[in-house]
Amino acid sequence: MPNFKQQSSARQTQPLRRRVLGPVLQKRSLLLSAPDAARLIRDAVSVGGELWVRGSGWSMHPTIRHADPVLLAPLGAGGAVRRGEIVLVPLGPRLMLHRVVDLQGDVVVTRGDARQRNDAPVSKRAVVARALAVRSNRTITPLVFTRRFGFASLVRFLLREAYRRVRLARATVKRSRHDNLTSIG
């Protein structure tokens, strides 16, 4: 009669083998010109894909900090762009992730959150993609109202949006006070 205890303990001491489902891809970075990057991103999002990109600069601080990865996605149905959302647009020789501050027919006006002035207007057709989320360290914060990244991320979005709106209201009041003082004096 076989000794079942010995067989089962022998089976437990064998190392577990992981099943590999395909090749493991290394993370790669590309340094592209703005037109090439726009073409790559446009191609990816035109088929419904999403893409994490890392930008540079401080124009969207504190919403997006320098070198934070941002998840880009296709525009909504029919290429709809909404006021308040962050979009990727070509501005001069570069691509910029800036917030939509005004829509005038077929024209989109953007501005960085840390900027005082609007950017040059661009056509709606020139908008490359919309920003869905930003990752800082290991924390993902949505840039649009969504539960996709979990409840905690949704709360972060709501708090960040409230903070942004308070800052905007304070800046508007401060600007109007300044304009009133300069018109009187």
- Tens digit of pLDDT at every position of the chain (185 positions): 444 444 444 445 555 555 555 566 566 777 888 788 888 888 998 898 999 998 889 999 988 999 999 999 998 766 789 999 999 998 888 889 999 999 999 999 999 999 989 999 999 999 999 999 999 888 888 898 888 888 888 888 888 888 888 887 887 777 666 666 666 65
User: What does the chain look like in DSSP terms, one character per residue?
Assistant: ---HHHHHHHHHHSPPPPPP-SPPPPP------HHHHHHHHHHHHHTT--EEEE---STTTTTS-TT-EEEEE--SGGG---TT-EEEEEETTEEEEEEEEEEETTEEEEE-TT-SSPPPPEEGGG--EEEEEEEETTEEEESSS-STT-HHHHHHHHHHHHHHHHHHHHHHHHHHHHHHHHHH-
Rounded to two decimals, the pTM is 0.71
What's the rounded Cα separation, in Å, for the pair 163 and 62? 10
Give every CB contact of residue 50 below 8 A, 6+ residues apart in sequence: 44, 71, 72, 73, 132
- Annotated domain spans of the chain: 30-137
- Give Cα separations from 126 to 53, 70, 88 (angstroms): 18, 19, 9
What residues does 141 pair with on adjacent strands?
134
For CA atoms 95, 79, 69, 163, give the dihedral sign: positive
What's the rounded Cα separation, in Å, for the pair 123 and 81? 11
Query: What local confidence, expressed as pLDDT, does residue 99 receive?
Result: 95
Q: Which class does domain 30-137 fall in? A: mainly beta
In the block, residue with structure tokens 């088929």? 47
Query: What local confidence, expressed as pLDDT, does residue 60 receive?
Result: 93
Query: What local confidence, expressed as pLDDT, does residue 17 receive?
Result: 53
Query: What local confidence, expressed as pLDDT, does residue 23 receive?
Result: 63
Q: What is the chain's length?
A: 185
Query: What local confidence, expressed as pLDDT, does residue 39 receive?
Result: 85
Query: What local confidence, expressed as pLDDT, does residue 104 receive?
Result: 92
Query: What local confidence, expressed as pLDDT, does residue 172 receive?
Result: 75
Query: What local confidence, expressed as pLDDT, does residue 6 receive?
Result: 45
Identity at 72, one-letter amino acid code? L
